[in-house]
Amino acid sequence: MIGTYGGRLSTLALASGLMVALAGQAAAQRRETISAPVGGVYVGIFAGAVALDSTINLQADGTRPGAKLVDQGGDGAIVGLRTGWGTLVSQHVYTGLELEGVVPIDANSRYDVNGLRYRRRLQNEVGAYGRVGWSPDGYSLLFLRGGLAVPLTTVDQRVIAIIGAGAEVPFGRRFAGRVDISYSFPFGGAHLETYRLIAGVVLRF
């Protein structure tokens, strides 16, 4: 368990360092050729990896003892779309809102204990998020993000709280590359929690 968490924390730390390095490199370059600054309306696509942890408590009955199932080996991929708006409220401080839809690809946890098999799958979800960040040059951005998402399922529609961080670096007149890391707090009957690392492209208007 400790090794699993340690590996995930190391991955998140590495991703955070990469985002800071990319944003720092972007800030050191001149942006006269970039026509779309970080503020305004944008749309984007993304894809990445997700790791899942889940816990289920089984009550004892006449055929089996009680058990607590903890799975830290779930994983899969996710793809999605997002759109949003933001603005620089000062020379460097950014705030914004965005909507996001996520489609998991074979992202699930599996259990096989006491002769019983269980499977918990990450569902399609839609969410709304707020972002605050720091833009060193008006074009690149380091940000924190938090919001709520709702699974698109009739089984368990509990609201999911998600927090994260990321960076955007422009690479053309209207495009920017974006990297996000995020964590969703435990939710649902399986106490499912996720760790997500995604990358994508943003089109700024």
140 near 162, Cβ under 8 Å?
Answer: no
CA 141 to chain centre: 17
Indicate the SS3 state at residue 83. Answer: strand
Specify the CATH number for the domain of residue 183: 2.40.160.20
Of 142, 149, 132, 136, nearest in space to 196 by CA: 149
Query: Mean of the pLDDT values across residues 3-11?
Result: 54
Domain interval for residue 69:
2-204
Q: Per the structure, how many domains does the chain have?
A: 1
**For all residues of the chain together, what is the average pLDDT?**
79
Residue 140 has pLDDT above 60, yes or no: yes
Of 132, 155, 157, 136, nearest in space to 145 by CA: 132
**DSSP calls for 140-195:** -EEEEEEEEEEES-SS----EEEEEEEEEEE-SSSEEEEEEEEEEEEETTTTEEEE
Q: What secondary structure letter does DSSP report for 42?
A: E
Query: Mean of the pLDDT values across residues 135-161?
Result: 85
Of 91, 88, 102, 90, nearest in space to 164 by CA: 102
The position carrying tokens 């080996």 is: 73
Of 123, 40, 129, nearest in space to 88 by CA: 40
Of 69, 52, 59, nearest in space to 118 by CA: 69
The position carrying tokens 């833009």 is: 135
Q: Model pTM?
A: 0.75
What pLDDT digit, counting tens, does each position of 50-67 carry? 988 777 666 666 666 666
Count of alpha carbons within 13 Å of 58, Cβ hemisphere only?
Answer: 19
Query: Mean of the pLDDT values across residues 142-156?
Result: 84
Query: Mean of the pLDDT values across residues 1-30?
Result: 54
